[in-house]
Amino acid sequence: MRPRVRKALLSCFLAIVLFAFFSVRLSRKAISVATVRYSTSNLTVRSKINPNSLNYAVQENHHDRDAQELSRPRTRHVSSIWDSIATLSVLLPAWEVLVIVPPETPLSPGLGEEYRCIFQNNATSTATFSGVLAFTNRTTFKCVMPDSVRRLRPFLQPILIKQSENESPVTKPMPELIRWTFMAYESFSTEDDVILFVKGVNHRQGLNRSPQEFLCLFGDGTTSFVKTAVTSSIQEVFRCPHPNLMGVISGADSERIKISLEIVTENLVVPSVAYYTPRRSLVIGRPEEPRSILCACTMVHNVAKFLKEWVVYHSMIGVQKFILYNNDSDDDLERVVEELNQDGYNVTTLFWIWPKTQEAGFSHGAVYAKDSCTWMLYVDVDEFVFSPSWDQFKKPSNDMLTSLLSRTPQKTPSSSSLMLPASHRRIGQVVMRCNEFGPSNQTSHPAEGVTQGYTCRRKIEQRHKSMVLLDAMDPSLLNVIHHFQLKEGFRSKTMSMEDAVVNHYKYQAWSEFRTKFRRRVSAYVVDWMQAVNPKSKDRTPGLGFEPIEPKGWAQKFCEVRDERLKLLTQKWFGSTEY
């Protein structure tokens, strides 16, 4: 009798253990799916609207919403993505949290008063002013996630308070933090359509999902939405028609219209911090200014000490406007830009905090500047364009760079031109090869500037940069760092290195070069500290994955002594300290 009892008890015990094990596994799976994805299953199409049309409105199905909220308190459906809350937060790399504040929120004058972030376990950290998003006028702060919060799951959005306010426990349920690797982060409205910038959908360079898999989703913070078809899906750039918001979005809410991307095949809406703005034509600078022949666009991070030399030089040889995408700089960039503008240069900065979005930033710059610039030069602040033939001139001229461009009248190619061989098509892009300079025995930033301090380079040219006719860009805005896909009827022209070359002061003194380990700006290039693709051309020969100075760094990458640009700028500008 006793063996039977023991056997029965043992069977019951094993059954309980197995039940508990599978219950935990199933609950974890449910929570992970619910907290990561935003379901569109509770949306129904209005009966009076054709669900197959390119522009249609939808409303939330409220039938069982309350029950769902009680059973899954952290699940957020499409309707609640745009709940009106004081702030919206994004988890950035290195445990930084970006807190975005709506424009109507009153803030301390000059932001002199400090703010704090209170997290889900009531841990706090200081919130520092980061910048103002250029097109939505939303103020941003950054705070570091405390160690005690990093162990929790899921990560919830913090609450922003003034430093002087009394601390109180967080009782208000907060939504989950948006991850920077998967979100819609910017939008831009042209006269014809809307461009949405989304990270985490097209993951790999050259592999882009079909536009038919997506819809653009517009909403104002209520329960009404409008969808339009996606017409282009390339890299992080998605294009769709403007929505018809009449009768759906009220005028008072016109500045609160969120825009996101619905992945139809996955029943999923991408979390968004992007807002829709009406159609607009944008002119950079004063409206009465004529369209510039040549502008320059680049993305920058802490380049204040280099900027003046770069702007002054390129301005003297033909660049009329400079557009800088400020990627979270915390140096004196704004002060230097203000000084340059006071001296008569035309420099515009756009606060662009989004990590690893260089390609998207260049695409944004192409449409942002199209009404103000004819050609765009895409080079970085450590890159200087010059022609060896300029040595014959005693002083620079503002037509030196434009002399490299096609002088064909700028007009849209006719249908007959599309049938011409490539050699007869109009030039829409001028490509220039690069020489990469090494540290040249420098141990710190040369006070006289990079063109004077770095004079030894590698023998074989590397990479290339370009000047692009903005009207010739393909509507997809596809680009690989510094050159673009062109429309049919246009072609690229590669300059010989005797006609034009880019001096790339890439491998600078170690004190400067090691700052590159912070992060690579390209969406598709592995960060320096990731132990992946050690033999890639995007990596530095002989350099590992840690910011540790290699032996003999100051003498590396020195195969050819090249002082051509040094002597040329000395002749033109004399001795100058930057």
**In the predicted model, what is the mean pLDDT of residues 110-130?**
86
How many residues does this entry show for the chain?
Answer: 578
pLDDT in tens, 210-227: 999 999 999 865 567 899
4-13, 156-165, 401-410: range with highest mean pLDDT: 156-165
Sign of CA dihedral 416, 417, 418, 420: positive
pLDDT reported for residue 561: 97
For 546-569, how does the pLDDT look when each residue is reduced to its tens digit (9 = 90+)?
A: 778 889 999 999 999 999 999 999
Q: Distance (Å, rounded) from C-alpha 364 to C-alpha 238? A: 11
CATH class of the domain defined by 292-407+422-573:
alpha beta
The answer to whether 200 and 181 have CB atoms below 8 angstroms apart is: yes
Please tell me the predicted confidence (pLDDT) of residue 259. Answer: 95
Q: Structure pTM?
A: 0.82
325 or 545, which is more confident?
325
User: In sequence order, which residues have a C-beta less than 8 Å from that of residue 536 and are 6 or more positions away?
Assistant: 526
What SS3 class is residue 160? strand
CA torsion through residues 175, 176, 179, 184, sign = negative
Neighbours of 378 (CB within 10 A): 22
Structure confidence at residue 463 as a pLDDT band (50, 70, 90): confident
What is the model's pLDDT at position 209? 96
| Among the listed residues 563, 541, 539, the one whose alpha carbon sits nearest the alpha carbon of residue 550 | 541
DSSP bridge pairs for 350? 325
Q: Which residues contact 432 (CB under 8 A, 6 or more apart)?
A: 385, 464, 465, 466, 467, 494, 495, 500, 501, 502
Amino acid at 320: Q
Each domain of the chain, given as residue ranges in start order, spans 38-68+181-280, 84-174, 292-407+422-573
Strongest mean pLDDT among 62-71, 148-157, 278-287: 148-157
Per DSSP, 97 falls in state E
**Whole-number pLDDT of residue 212:** 97
Q: Give the residue-averaged pLDDT of 312-319.
A: 98
Other CB atoms within 10 A of residue 222 CB: 16
Q: What is the DSSP pairing of strand 490-494 with strand 426-436?
A: parallel
* Greater model confidence, 411 or 172: 172
Give the pLDDT confidence score for residue 1 in this predicted structure.
46
Pair of tokens at residue 117: 């972030």
Q: Would the pLDDT of 177 be above 90?
A: yes
Q: Using alpha carbons, select from 458, 308, 324 the residue that is nearest to residue 378.
A: 324
